[in-house]
Amino acid sequence: MPVHPRLHGQAPRARRPAPDPDRLRHPRRGPGRSVVVRVEHADVVVVGGGAAGLSAALAAVEACAAAGRDDAVVALVSKVYPMRSHTVAAEGGAAGVVPGGEDTLDQHVADTLAGGAGLSHPDAVRYVVERAAGELARLERLGMPWSRTAEGRPAVRRFGGMSRPRTWFAADKTGFHLLHTLFQTTLRERSIRRYDEHVVLDLLLTAEREARGIVGYDQQRGEVVVVLAPAVVLATGGYARAWGTSTNAGIVTGDGLSMALRAGLPLRDLEMVQVHPTCLPGSGLLITEAARGEGGVLVDATGQRYLADYGLGPVTPVGAPEPRRMELGPRDKLSQAFWHAERDGRTVPTRDGGVVHLDLRHLGKAVIDERLPLVSGLARRFAGVDPVHEPVPVRPAAHYTMGGIVTTASGQVLDDAGRPVDGLFAAGECASTGLHGANRLGSNSLVETLVVGREAGLAAAGVAGSRAPAQGTELVDHARDLADTRLAMRGRGTEPPAPLRKELGRVLDADVGIFRDADGLARASATLDDLHARFQDVRVADTADVLNTDWAQVLELGAMLTVARGAVAAAVARTESRGAHQRLDHPQTDDVARHSLVTLDPAGETHVRLVPVEGAGTAIGADIGTDIDTAVGTPGGTAVGTTQGDA
């Protein structure tokens, strides 16, 4: 596989390019307070500094260089320093078929389609699977320290729902090493201009829905920043932090999805939220599936392995896991088994809810220290147990969101009629490419960030090379108006944000969790409508221009409320059980698999339509099959504000 030469060799001495002569400052004209807007230009804007965003940025640089555009600028915008992006928390690994072994691409495709429960797109699955091993090998050439076998081949481990061991890993710190590798590689590239600690407030789209850049806020300087570009890649992560008990970092707040909704774009399958079965109680810290792949077992309060009693049998030998059985069943099935075991009185009561135990003791200290050092450290520090000598208490927590911005397999964003949105791309957890369907298989997500992130970056660079630079005072004026709306939140309002945030997490945990029903979803919907109405008068006490975290967190809360209302509305509309969405009052799975599509109208109402999967690739908004239109929300109550991040 050819490797771009600019990604190798001696790194340039200068970290940033020379000052851009196109950087302009536009003061507000006319009445009102003076607002200075810093205007900058780029060829491609990438929003999010995690694996998908960094992959997109590197690919865009490579494509521009290949086209002879060495003066191209790729703006990398992140609300945190990139190494604080949520990718760093990924533990288990990335799936890819190692050439020359017993595993096959067809088997990886079949496993992924089975896990997706009818909502995965076969073409999207094959698109990622066929490119997976190549991207993992590319990472190794950039310095990724994959664990290896004694023969020197990439080591692979078992993961839930996978019929073969195919998950590449770097001990149990895969995301940490992966993000380091990508970030260090970006430091070599003069063309990448970083905007760390910049809160992205909104997308800039023309009336014809053509991407023209973003409007953001520089937290370090206290300035509104407009970055005009003919192509934008959203790599902003998911929205599982909205739940009260979650494995996600505090930055994973649905920012890009909220921006897409406000732009009139559809979000697909928001109700499909994966609940990971093994997390530390209270903190929600993830205990990676790799612990079960190495042979760890789950036991109830009496020390008995309980999963076979809930449809995951037959029982496998301790320390000898078998694909798709017991501890290596799909994540949704393990979380559902916990739910039943808790109601059957088989869990251990704690102040943070019932727990079961993950027993690793039979693996021995040497295996735990070599293969699971992070798990061992987390258990000792946050649960007060040494997994070499004691079982680890675990319970489920919200982990991953399969739904997102509707895209093609390569990351091209589509509108509600299935048409490409010119110049707009999305990758990673914020995108719904058709890979994961109703339930993601562990280790498919990291490789998706690499494959789709790269393809989105290449495509964005191609668009930038074929279009004139984005410019115009109308865009800047529109951006200023958007920024003014967000900035006006400072120093006003009477509703404290902390109770709103706490109630949001509580109701999602209680009523939009592993199992749902009509009564619980109705309670959640009513609560979210109330929270949304109260949010319109939310208080932002801090009026500082620089590093105003009070304001930034309120913007994140607004994004979570917007996306959560969409997720609940989609859960109400889906009257079946499929994948991660299980309805106690509708246990059947419909014969026809349908996607949910959520849109937000100008009055702030959330609308949901269900469309058959067969039509999703060409006309996702067409009136085909059953068309359910559900309006949920308070007219005129559109939630405002968002930021960006990556998971």
CA 363 – CA 385 distance, rounded (Å): 16
Identify whether the C-beta of residue 249 lies closer than 8 Å to the C-beta of residue 286: no
What's at 64, amino acid-wise? C
Joined together, the tokens standing for residue 336 give 């559902």
In the prediction, which pLDDT does 608 show?
A: 97
Task: Write down the H helix ranges in 220-289.
Answer: 255-262
CA 114 – CA 439 distance, rounded (Å): 9
CA 177 – CA 183 distance, rounded (Å): 10
In the prediction, which pLDDT does 36 show?
A: 81
Residue 76: phi and psi, rounded to 5, are: -110, 105
Beta bridge partners of 227: 40, 214
Mean pLDDT, the chain, rounded, equals 88
Joined together, the tokens standing for residue 71 give 């003066």
Joined together, the tokens standing for residue 504 give 């949001």
Q: How long, in residues, is the chain? A: 647
Strands 232-234 and 420-426 come out as parallel
What's at 524, amino acid-wise? A
3 state DSSP class of 375: helix
> Ranked by mean pLDDT, which of 8-22, 162-176, 512-526 comes out on top?
512-526
**Residue position matching structure tokens 């039943």:** 340
Q: Would you say residue 331 has pLDDT above 90?
A: no
| Distance set, CA 55 to CA 46, 62, 300, 539 (Å) | 10, 11, 42, 38
In the prediction, which pLDDT does 468 show?
A: 73
Strands 94-95 and 167-168 come out as antiparallel
Joined together, the tokens standing for residue 528 give 């979210």
Residues 519-538, mean pLDDT to the nearest whole number: 97
Ramachandran quadrant class, 437 (left: phi over 0; alpha: psi -120 to 50; beta: rest): left
Q: In this structure, how many other beta carbons lie within 10 angstroms of the beta carbon of residue 478?
A: 18
Joined together, the tokens standing for residue 595 give 């996607």
Residues 85-102, mean pLDDT to the nearest whole number: 90
In the prediction, which pLDDT does 92 show?
A: 86
Identify whether the C-beta of residue 412 lies closer than 8 Å to the C-beta of residue 400: no
Kindly report which listed range (158-172, 439-453, 578-592) carries the lowest average pLDDT score: 158-172
Q: Would you say residue 641 has pLDDT above 70?
A: no
Give me the helix-helix angle, 497-511 and 549-573, nearest 10°: 30
Please report which confidence band the pLDDT of residue 180 belongs to, taking 50, 70 and 90 as the band edges: very high
In the prediction, which pLDDT does 313 show?
A: 87
In the chain, ranges of CATH 3.90.700.10 domains: 278-396
Residues 20-48, mean pLDDT to the nearest whole number: 69
Residues 252-273, mean pLDDT to the nearest whole number: 97
In the chain, ranges of CATH 3.50.50.60 domains: 22-86+176-272+402-647
pLDDT (tens digit per residue) in 132-175 = 999 999 999 999 999 999 888 899 988 888 899 999 999 889 99
CA 143 – CA 634 distance, rounded (Å): 51
Joined together, the tokens standing for residue 570 give 């989609």
Feature table: binding site? 48-53, 78-93, 255, 276, 288, 399, 429, 440, 445-446
CA 490 – CA 488 distance, rounded (Å): 5
Joined together, the tokens standing for residue 525 give 């919907």
Helix (H) or strand (E) holding 359, with range, is strand 356-359
In the prediction, which pLDDT does 27 show?
A: 52
Which CATH class name applies to 278-396? Answer: alpha beta
The CATH fold assigned to 22-86+176-272+402-647 is FAD/NAD(P)-binding domain (3.50.50)
pLDDT (tens digit per residue) in 381-419 = 999 999 999 999 999 999 999 999 999 999 999 999 999
Spell out the residues 6+ positions from residue 525 whose beta carbon is closer than 8 angstroms to its own: 565, 568, 569, 572, 632
Beta bridge partners of 442: none
In the prediction, which pLDDT does 616 show?
A: 37
Question: Between residues 573 and 633, which one has the greater pLDDT?
Answer: 573
In 3-state terms the chain splits into helix, strand, coil percentages (rounded to 5) of 35, 20, 45
Q: Which residues are catalytic?
A: 331
Feature table: binding site for substrate? 276, 288, 399, 440
Kindly report which listed range (354-368, 428-442, 603-617) carries the lowest average pLDDT score: 603-617
Strands 24-26 and 94-95 come out as unpaired
Joined together, the tokens standing for residue 55 give 């992959």
Quickly list DSSP for 57-75. Answer: HHHHHHHHHHTT-TT--EE
3 state DSSP class of 203: strand
Nearest to 247 by CA among 255, 239, 235: 239
Feature table: binding site for FAD? 48-53, 78-93, 255, 429, 445-446
Identify whether the C-beta of residue 432 lies closer than 8 Å to the C-beta of residue 268: yes
pLDDT (tens digit per residue) in 189-248 = 999 999 999 999 999 999 888 999 999 999 999 999 999 999 999 999 999 999 999 999
CA 170 – CA 148 distance, rounded (Å): 9
Residues 250-262, mean pLDDT to the nearest whole number: 96
Q: Would you say residue 26 has pLDDT above 90?
A: no
Quickly list DSSP for 361-393. Answer: GGG-HHHHHHH-HHHHHHIIIII---TTTSPEE
Identify whether the C-beta of residue 140 lies closer than 8 Å to the C-beta of residue 66: no
Using a pLDDT cut of 90, give the percent of the chain over it. Answer: 79
Residues 491-495, mean pLDDT to the nearest whole number: 94
pLDDT (tens digit per residue) in 536-562 = 999 999 999 999 999 999 999 999 999
Strands 44-47 and 232-234 come out as parallel
In the prediction, which pLDDT does 628 show?
A: 36
In the prediction, which pLDDT does 320 show?
A: 87
CA 377 – CA 374 distance, rounded (Å): 5
Kindly report which listed range (108-122, 191-205, 466-480, 632-646) carries the lowest average pLDDT score: 632-646
Question: Between residues 340 and 91, which one has the greater pLDDT?
Answer: 340
Residues 46/48/53/57 CA torsion (nearest 10 deg): 40
In the prediction, which pLDDT does 615 show?
A: 39
Question: Between residues 32 and 594, which one has the greater pLDDT?
Answer: 594
In the prediction, which pLDDT does 644 show?
A: 31
In the prediction, which pLDDT does 32 show?
A: 42
